[in-house]
């Protein structure tokens, strides 16, 4: 089955053609980073306008690279939510019009589920139960997956997503947008032990995450130590390098410590780390070390598949289509769409940390 995937949930316009949920024939992504860089973050109105301009040529490019025409596509999968409403609507409306015109099946995909399936395109098949850390600029969640297609949120951030925290701290340090890649680069030259930053503890005992206090701690450290942000592309001071290293170390420690706690409780057969922040090498190393301790494999997507892309949407969509799940033309974007559908007591198994 050839599935055309379409992704437009935030600031990447993407299209891909995937065969049988595993083989990527094409994956095209148009990034909007340069468009939003002057504003220090994504501007929703600008993002949706850019999607309108890019979606048709991106889809055509994906088909051309895959050496197929519209009539050879068997189905269309599109990100239905969550995300920015204007951005989502561009992709959903385009996909619905295309499905209607071609007479092809349509399926709406949860964007976060797409990140889960991003690891299936380049790794061995996932053995269940699995534990998946999905960490990006908009999402930071840990899911228990007892079997394919069943999910339970067992940890989430109480405030900022990890990627959002990277962006905000980078802004404090004068490093520009997006923050994740530049902080990771500078952290390699810094000494995290010089700037020991706190890891939030959730007072009610739930295995959740929080990064707002960490941001406040960084701001306080900069103020109390009179550390000036980088200006006009000048060379960062040693103090800035150390703060970058300390902040990154604190984020990784928070993510992995919660994942370790849950993994020891749930004994998954596979670990999954996906989403934009999964590109971070420090996080990958810590997750790999955890996997060794647990004697379970950990799967990461490649860099191309870590950021928002349409191949992961096609892969997830294929599974829904294979199971006979389709959408009609009344489907619309859903910014509150949740990935949590375990509803039988026997499915919950050993999950103690219900939200």
pLDDT digits (tens, 9 = 90+) for 153-173: 999 999 999 999 999 999 999
- Rounded Cα–Cα distance for residues 230 and 217 (Å): 19
Question: H or E stretch including 63?
Answer: helix 44-66
Secondary structure class of 280 (helix, strand, coil): coil
Rounded Cα gap, residues 119 and 115, in angstroms: 8
Domains in the chain, CATH or no CATH each: 2-118+304-338 (3.30.420.40), 127-300 (3.30.420.40)
With contact defined as beta carbons under 8 Å apart, do 100 and 63 qualify? no
| Residue-wise pLDDT tens digits, 93-107 | 999 999 999 999 999
Decide if pLDDT at 346 tops 60.
no
* Stretch among 47-56, 175-184, 228-237, 323-332 having the lowest mean pLDDT: 228-237
Whole-angstrom distance, CA of residue 17 vs CA of residue 314: 7
The answer to whether 102 and 73 are in contact (CB under 8 A) is yes
CA distance linking residue 228 with residue 215, whole number of Å: 16
272, two tokens: 């999954």
- Residue in the block written with tokens 């380049």: 122
Separation of alpha carbons 268 and 275, rounded Å:
20
User: For residue 215, what pLDDT band results from cuts at 50, 70 and 90?
Assistant: very high
| Lowest model confidence (mean pLDDT) among 18-22, 35-39, 311-315 | 35-39
User: Contact at 8 Å (CB) between 107 and 76?
Assistant: yes
| 254 neighbors 285 (Cβ within 8 angstroms) | no
Residue 334: the pLDDT is 95
Residue 225 CB partners (closer than 8 Å, separation 6+): 239
2, β-bridge pairs: 19
Average pLDDT over residues 43-67: 96
Percentage of residues in the chain having pLDDT higher than 70:
95
59 closest CA partner among 87, 95, 23, 33:
95
The radius of gyration of the chain from alpha carbons, rounded to an integer in Å, stands at 20
Q: What is the pLDDT of residue 26?
A: 98
Mean pLDDT value across residues 328-343:
83
State yes or no: pLDDT of 348 exceeds 90: no
Q: Cβ(41)–Cβ(72) under 8 Å?
A: no
Q: What is the pLDDT of residue 123?
A: 95
Cα–Cα distances in angstroms (integers) from residue 206 to residues 153, 156, 202, 267, in the given order? 12, 10, 6, 18
| Nearest-angstrom CA–CA distance, 342 and 152 | 6
Return the SS3 of 266: helix
Q: Half-sphere exposure (CA, 13 Å, Cβ side) for 3?
A: 33
Banded pLDDT at 341 (limits 50, 70, 90): low
Which alpha helices (H) appear in 160-211, and where do they start and end?
162-172, 179-187
Q: Note the pLDDT of residue 352.
A: 42
Torsion (CA) 186, 192, 197, 200 in degrees, nearest 10 = 90
138 — pLDDT class (breaks 50, 70, 90): confident
Comparing 204 with 218, which gets the higher pLDDT?
218
3-state secondary structure of 163: helix
Q: Compute the mean pLDDT over every residue in the chain, rounded to the nearest whole number.
A: 93
The bridge status of strand 140-145 relative to strand 130-135 is antiparallel
- In the DSSP assignment, the letter for residue 203 is T
Which pLDDT belongs to residue 205? Answer: 83
Which one, of 277, 274, 283, lies nearest residue 131 by Cα? 274
Residue 353 has pLDDT above 90, yes or no: no
What is the CA angle 173-256-298, rounded to 5?
Answer: 120
Q: To which residue do tokens 């385009």 refer?
A: 94
Confidence of residue 342 (pLDDT cuts 50, 70, 90): very low
The tokens for 31 are 């990034």
User: Quick check: 53 and 337 in contact, CB under 8 A?
Assistant: no
Residue 99's pLDDT is: 97
Tell me the whole-structure pTM to 2 decimals.
Answer: 0.91
For residue 176, pLDDT beyond 80: yes
In angstroms, the CA 160 to CA 168 distance is 10
What does the block give as tokens for 130?
């699995």
Is 347's pLDDT higher than 70? Answer: no
- Read off the pLDDT band of 183 (50, 70, 90): very high
């Amino acid at each position: 089955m050839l599935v055309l995937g379409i992704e437009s949930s935030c600031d990447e316009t993407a299209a891909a053609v995937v065969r049988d949920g595993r083989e990527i024939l094409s994956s095209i992504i148009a990034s909007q980073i340069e468009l939003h860089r002057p504003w220090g973050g994504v501007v929703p109105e600008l993002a949706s306008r850019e999607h309108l301009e890019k979606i048709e040529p991106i889809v055509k490019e994906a088909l051309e690279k895959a050496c197929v025409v519209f009539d050879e596509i068997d189905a269309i999968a599109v990100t239905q939510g969550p995300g920015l409403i204007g951005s989502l609507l561009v992709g959903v409306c385009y996909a619905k019009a295309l499905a209607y015109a071609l007479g092809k099946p349509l399926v709406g995909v949860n964007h976060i589920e797409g990140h889960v399936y991003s690891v299936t395109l380049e790794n061995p098949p996932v053995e269940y139960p699995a534990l998946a850390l999905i960490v990006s600029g908009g999402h930071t969640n840990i899911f228990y997956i007892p079997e394919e297609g069943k999910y339970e949120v067992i940890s989430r951030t109480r405030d900022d997503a990890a990627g959002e925290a990277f962006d905000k701290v980078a802004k404090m340090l004068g490093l520009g947008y997006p923050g994740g890649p530049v902080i990771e680069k500078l952290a390699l030259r810094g000494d995290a032990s010089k700037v020991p930053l706190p890891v939030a503890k959730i007072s009610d005992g739930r295995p959740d995450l929080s990064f707002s206090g960490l941001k406040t701690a960084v701001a306080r450290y900069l103020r109390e130590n009179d550390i000036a942000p980088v200006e006009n592309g000048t060379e960062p001071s040693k103090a800035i390098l150390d703060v970058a290293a300390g902040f990154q170390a604190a984020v990784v420690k928070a993510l992995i410590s919660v994942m370790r706690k849950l993994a020891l409780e749930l004994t998954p057969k596979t670990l999954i780390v996906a989403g934009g922040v999964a590109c971070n090498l420090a996080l990958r190393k810590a997750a790999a070390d955890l996997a060794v301790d647990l004697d379970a494999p950990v799967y990461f997507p490649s860099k191309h598949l870590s950021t928002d892309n349409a191949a992961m949407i096609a892969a997830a969509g294929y599974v829904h289509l294979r199971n006979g799940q389709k959408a009609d033309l009344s489907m619309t974007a859903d910014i509150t769409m949740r990935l949590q559908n375990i509803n039988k007591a026997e499915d919950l198994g050993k999950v103690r940390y219900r939200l």
